[in-house]
Structure 1
Amino acid sequence: MEQLLDETGKINAVVAGKHNAAQWLDLDAARDHVRAGASQWTWASTADGENPEVVLACAGGIPTVESLAAADLLRHDLPEARIRFVNIVDLCSLAPPGRHPNGMPDGQFDALFGQETPVVFDFHGYPSAVHQLLHGRPHPDRFHVRGYVEEGTTTTPYDLLALNGTTRHDLAASVLAHTAPRSGRSRQLAEQYTNHRDALRRELRRTGVDPAEITDWTWTG
């Protein structure tokens, strides 16, 4: 908001939800994050300065919550996996600088996403929008973007996410598909997550509400 209110010579549209939103950064970190357009959240990563096996990226309020919840699952169940968590606040920063004025320089992009590292990306809109912006970046086919795929009905928020394959359990399973095999542990965990997702969906359809483990989730670190 600070940046939007300071800018001149353009029209900025602000879309605000009616529910309280989580605050993940302090003010100084948030200012740096907005200036960069995208940044690594080291406190949610497990790569510990090493080259990551996979990048877990997200853009949007609900995708950030679900991606953090997925990272939280993985850091407890498979802490040895090297996962870098990246949050994007300016989607256009993904574009090459020659194609958009907000596009981040190649060096900054490589520092976040590498050049060949697989990226699991959760987005609140159509996945095609992200793929269009990534055109011209190194190996864009390594970005596995999940988002809205025209699936929805009158149901609970978690069930809507499940219909579009964007729950924390779907994201965690997708990350595991791109990590190094660990004597079947990754495959076992992925199956555990998808089975738990299905069990939650059966229960919420019985009760009509999302379970507390979803609605009351908080970052444990």
Structure 2
Amino acid sequence: MRNPRLVLGAGASILAAFAGILLFSIGLAHLLAAGPGEVTGWVQAIGSIFAVVAGFGVAAYQVQKQREDVREEMRERARAAHKLAFQAYRLIGERLATALSRKDRKSGPASGAGQFDLKGYRTTEMVAAMREFDTGRPPTPLIESFVELRTRVFAINERISQLYEREDSQSPEDRVAAKALRYGKLESSVRVYARAGESYTALDAAARDHFGIESLGCAVPPAIATYGAPTEDAAPE
């Protein structure tokens, strides 16, 4: 979609050029019809007209260039916020899905070991990056969704980390029982994740509609999408 201001600026430049050519033609016609004594005056008049037209054209170009520079800066800021939001939403989904995994509940004694620690570190780093990202940088259409997503991703990540820490602080026997209860304790996190998805969807649409940034879709992991559905290996009530 073209910028209306740039179109108007280009139109003004074309009109200015047309006016200059028209004035030059009129002046040339008078010059050819005039006597030798009037030539100098006509040359000065035509030169003044061209100077005015040239000055107008330069000013119009500078204004247009400044507007385009501002627009490009806003687009880059929007692109940075969009990419950061996408990565944060994707990583928190992966970590929450891992925490909900029923295989994880039956795995070894350390609930935060291996791949779980890795996902936790990556997600925590991304959350920190979102918190350090200046909220004045995202353009206005993205600010509200960005802040909402950041808050929800942080809440989910903190909840998962707390559960892992509590499980790891218990004895091996108690840890197995605690892990079996983790699935139910993450119900609120699943709800918050759904709201985070709404925030990301709004941000993604705003980045696309206002700045022409390509959408980045992020599918909900199966473990989250099917949360609460009865399964054969579900823990007894």
**Same fold judged by TM-score > 0.5?**
no
- Whose Rg is larger? 2
Structure (1 or 2) with the greater helix fraction: 2
Q: TM-score range by the shorter chain?
A: under 0.3
Q: TM-score, normalised by structure 1?
A: 0.26
Q: TM-score, normalised by structure 2?
A: 0.25
RCO higher in structure (CA 8 A, sep ≥6): 2
